[in-house]
């Protein structure tokens, strides 16, 4: 079974990205022939500064490697290093029905706000379908908001197979952990870059502490009984803590006599414990750009082998080349 997933290099990753998506990707890397890529072609729909894009790609590679993606187990590459994906995008575009793309949320949301969309944003899900179909992927770990794109991928792959009367493409399944679909941010709303309420995965300890101390809570005083279930600090703590630790902190909430400062300190300690080693690894890796470059180069070489095989199948099916 082939696992594949991609991450857009659009800036610093936050706890929502990690718990909602990246952690699941990395957990699945033990499947043989797992593939992970940095979706720089997708990022072109939002990042329009070349130096920023390049820096973002390097940073995304450092993030994934520091968080445990192991190039000895899984292949890591940059999307644009496998140019076959853009050719497959065109082949798929010719069988993609407009109405499928018109209901996709990134485009629909922009249109609803009266913002003009580029053809790149409109056809974004077709590039994503090509990412997935190009490698005969079976299982695609994603955050909840990406399920719609996997459905488009299945529709488009199926339509190509039907039109050309051949099983050219393998149809993938999404893999989502529903309970992690909405990690709250500093203000209690869904954590997101666009809401300015994020806690980044990689932060200097002082900065992390300051952010955690700024999480919004109700105004209950120290002695008052508190409800862990409605408190963002507790919801975030659950991401890091085992059941025993969760029960112990919940008990303190319910008993009264604990201020929110203490709960925030517990959250800070567990976040430091979880991400501290990755933070140090990332620093070390950042000082060794050649190693990272070699990993991505070797990843692209391996990915291209498979990509060329599948693209050839698709070209043959629709009657391209063959002279």
Decide: helix, strand or coil at residue 74: coil
Q: Which entry of 12, 166, 182, 193 is annotated as an active-site residue?
A: 193
Dist CA 256 CA 231 (whole Å): 14
- Report the C-alpha dihedral over residues 256, 260, 266, 269, rounded to 10 degrees: -160
Instruction: Measure the CA–CA gap between 4 and 141, rounded to whole angstroms.
Output: 7
Contact 166, 317 (CB under 8 A): yes
Binding mask 141-180 for ligand TRP (x = CB under 6 A): -x---x----------------------------------
Q: Which is nearer to ligand TRP, 5 or 80 (CB)?
A: 5
Among 159, 182, 302, 315, binds ligand ADP (CB under 6 A): 182
**Which does residue 39 touch among ligand TRP, ligand ADP, none (CB within 5 to 8 A, set by kind)?**
ligand TRP
DSSP 215: -
Torsional sign, CA 156, 162, 163, 169: positive
Q: Measured from the CB of residue 272, what is the shortest distance to ligand ADP in angstroms? A: 21
CA distance 286 to 279: 11
Q: Which is nearer to ligand ADP, 160 or 202 (CB)?
A: 202
Read off the tokens for 320: 């391209």
Q: Is 190 a catalytic residue?
A: yes
| Per-residue x/- track, 117-156, ligand ADP (CB under 6 A) | -------------------------xxxxx----------
Which entry of ligand ADP, ligand TRP, none binds 228, CB below 5 to 8 A by partner kind?
A: none
The binding site for ligand ADP (CB under 6 A) comprises 8, 10, 16-17, 20-21, 142-146, 180-183, 190-194
């Amino acid at each position: 079974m082939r696992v594949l997933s991609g991450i857009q290099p659009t800036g610093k990753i936050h706890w929502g990205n990690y718990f909602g998506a990246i952690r699941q990707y990395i957990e699945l890397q033990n499947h043989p022939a797992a593939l992970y890529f940095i979706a720089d072609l997708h990022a072109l729909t939002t990042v329009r500064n070349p130096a920023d894009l390049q820096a973002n790609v390097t940073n995304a590679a450092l993030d994934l490697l520091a968080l445990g993606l192991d190039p000895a187990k899984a292949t890591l590459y940059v999307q644009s290093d496998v140019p076959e994906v853009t050719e497959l995008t065109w082949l798929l575009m010719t069988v993609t029905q407009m109405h499928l793309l018109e209901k996709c949320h990134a485009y629909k949301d922009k249109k609803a706000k009266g913002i003009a969309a580029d053809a790149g944003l409109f056809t974004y899900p077709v590039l994503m379908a090509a990412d997935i179909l190009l490698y005969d992927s079976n299982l695609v770990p994603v955050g909840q908001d990406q399920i719609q794109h996997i459905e488009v991928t299945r529709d488009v792959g199926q339509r190509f197979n039907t039109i050309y009367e051949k099983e050219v493409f393998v149809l993938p399944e999404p893999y989502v952990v529903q309970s992690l679909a909405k990690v709250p941010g500093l203000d209690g709303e869904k954590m997101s870059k666009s809401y300015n309420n994020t806690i980044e995965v990689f932060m200097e300890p002082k900065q992390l502490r300051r952010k955690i101390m700024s999480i919004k809570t109700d105004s209950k005083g120290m002695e008052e009984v508190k409800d862990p279930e409605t408190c963002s600090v507790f919801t975030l703590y659950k991401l890091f803590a085992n059941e025993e630790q969760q029960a112990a902190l919940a008990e303190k909430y319910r008993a009264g006599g604990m201020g929110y400062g203490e709960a925030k300190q517990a959250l800070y300690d567990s976040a430091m414990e979880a991400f501290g080693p990755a933070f140090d690894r990332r620093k070390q890796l950042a000082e060794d750009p050649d190693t990272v470059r070699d990993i991505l180069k070797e990843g692209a070489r391996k990915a291209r082998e498979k990509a060329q095989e599948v693209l050839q199948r698709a070209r043959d099916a629709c009657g391209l080349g063959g002279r």
